[in-house]
Structure 1
Amino acid sequence: MGRRGEQGLAKKALGTAHNILEWQTPVLAVEDSEGVLLGRLVKDGKIRTLEEIYLFSLPIKEFEIIDFFLGPQLKDEVLKIMPVQKQTRVQHQAFVAIGDYNGHIGLGVKCSKEVATAIRGAIILAKLSIVPVRRGYWGNKIGKPHTVPCKVTGKCGSVMVRLIPAPRGTGLVAASVPKKLLNMAGIEDCYTSARGQTATLGNFAKAAYAAIAKTYAYLTPDLWKETVFTKSPYQEFTDYLAKNHKVSSEQRQEMKLY
């Protein structure tokens, strides 16, 4: 299929993607899930912000948790829909980016026979892969953070993407794919450098996402302060969970993993 055919599929599926997102947003079925206590703590109001979850690196296994905290702020965009084949079986692979334009970004990839099903799955996976984005300054710390705090690099396949801090007013000096991801992450000014087979859009998007996610992985000197350790939500609310939610033997085994 040519590039025009892929663009036609993407435009046709865009309306479907937004309908799916609107259909998903009001659903909050975290109390029905088995083995996941994080959703119950969120639903009961014990965890008030998404940052509390990131602080303890707790795995988010339900996309409804992301809807609960970010909800209407999230915007999604279908980056590409491409046909993939396994022998004679043809499926559609969807790449979806999602973000709130204020410090959160996610990327999802899903294969399915139907285009709408692939987009639906990619949106869910993108929500589950949402990470916080650290922003910083190029020079003097005046106004709000506007660029990446330091040089960061992401790699996928042969594609390597490097993000470099830029002065205020520079804008996003990037190709179309990383530019969309940086914009969704809430970064206003940034220089980029890319090498490898950037025509492979999937790897290009994954490399840009990996670079953006690394902004919180690199500890700059202002983060060298002594860490004050606190209890994780599972430890803090152990008595509450034992009293209000019955925990089976399978759930206990899963809690031990944390």
Structure 2
Amino acid sequence: MQQPREQRRFQERQAPEWHPKTKLGHLVKQGFVDAAKIFQFSMRIKEPEIVDHLFKNLKQEVLVIKSVQKQTKAGQRTRIKAVVAIGDGKEYIGLGVKAAKEAATAIRGAILKAKCNIRPVKLGYWGDKFGEPHTAAVMGLDGASNFYTPDLWEQKEVVRNPFMEFSSVLAEIDNLKIE
């Protein structure tokens, strides 16, 4: 006998059970490999479910949704491009970019790519050594020259693009300095 309609509507839907498709997925599901080993041996994550299994409290943020156009013989083809950042707020962060015909499809695809691109953030000290590690070294490109800023200068004001902003959005560490 089925439940009344109101009770069925408000029941929480359970996620389907994960069936790994890769060797790494099987090892993670059995508990032989954890996140530290994956990044220590530079293993590539090919299944987003691996990240779901390892990290329970991931936060995600849609940074940009914009339309992009491509000129074809028949006219213009418009697609929606989404940039999504995902992280746990402590050590790990990932970025995903996806273009699709619809915004919802682009966001879902960007979330999956961000999960597969998740990386650890190495924090340390620069200048003052008190409290928790609070500095992240950043490598960037300025015109035709590379620059390396280990102290991430606070005085320098930078107009950020979405790829630079994702780390400060999700890091959420009290004393983190990112510019």
Q: TM-score range by the shorter chain?
A: 0.7 to 0.9
Give the corresponding residue for 1:249. Answer: none
* 2:37 alignment partner AA: E
User: 1:190 is paired with a residue of what secondary structure?
Assistant: coil
- Percent identity of equivalent pairs: 42
- Cα deviation per residue 1:132-166 (whole Å; 9 max; x = unaligned)? 00000123533211112x4x313499797854426
- Cα deviation per residue 1:59-93 (whole Å; 9 max; x = unaligned)? 1100001011112x211111111111223221111
Give the corresponding residue for 1:146. Answer: 134
Higher share in helix: 1
CA distance in 2 between partners of 1:118 and 1:124 (Å):
10
**Conserved? CA contact 1:98–1:107, under 8 Å:** yes
Q: How much has 1:103 moved relative to structure 2?
A: 1.2
Report how many aligned residue pairs link the two structures. Answer: 160
CA distance in 2 between partners of 1:105 and 1:191 (Å):
14
- Cα deviation per residue 1:24-81 (whole Å; 9 max; x = unaligned)? x9455243x2xx111001111111x20111111111100001011112x211111111
Q: Does 1:84 align with 2:68?
A: yes
Give the corresponding residue for 1:110. Answer: 98
* 1:39 alignment partner AA: G
User: 1:139 is paired with a residue of what secondary structure?
Assistant: coil
Given the two structures, how large is their TM-score scaled by the length of structure 2? 0.74
**Conserved? CA contact 2:135–2:178, under 8 Å:** no
Alignment of 1:1-258 (within 5 A): 26-31=15-20, 33=21, 36-47=22-33, 49-71=34-56, 73-86=57-70, 87=72, 88-148=76-136, 150=137, 152-155=138-141, 163-165=149-151, 175=159, 177=162, 178-187=164-173, 188-192=175-179
* 2:36 alignment partner AA: E
User: 1:77 is paired with a residue of what secondary structure?
Assistant: strand
**Conserved? CA contact 2:126–2:150, under 8 Å:** no
**Conserved? CA contact 2:94–2:119, under 8 Å:** yes
User: 1:125 is paired with a residue of what secondary structure?
Assistant: helix
Structure 1 vs Structure 2 CA RMSD:
3.2
In structure 2, the CA distance between the partners of 1:68 and 1:40, relative to structure 1 (3 Å rule), is: same
**Conserved? CA contact 2:95–2:166, under 8 Å:** no
CA distance in 1 between partners of 2:47 and 2:38 (Å):
13
Higher share in strand: 2
Note the residue ranges of structure 2 that are not aligned, 5 or more in a row. 1-12
In structure 2, the CA distance between the partners of 1:78 and 1:183, relative to structure 1 (3 Å rule), is: closer
* 2:39 alignment partner AA: Y
Q: How much has 1:190 moved relative to structure 2?
A: 1.9
- Cα deviation per residue 1:98-146 (whole Å; 9 max; x = unaligned)? 1111011111010111110000000000010011000001235332111
User: 2:114 is paired with a residue of what secondary structure?
Assistant: helix
Note the residue ranges of structure 1 that are not aligned, 5 or more in a row. 1-22, 193-258
* 1:61 alignment partner AA: K
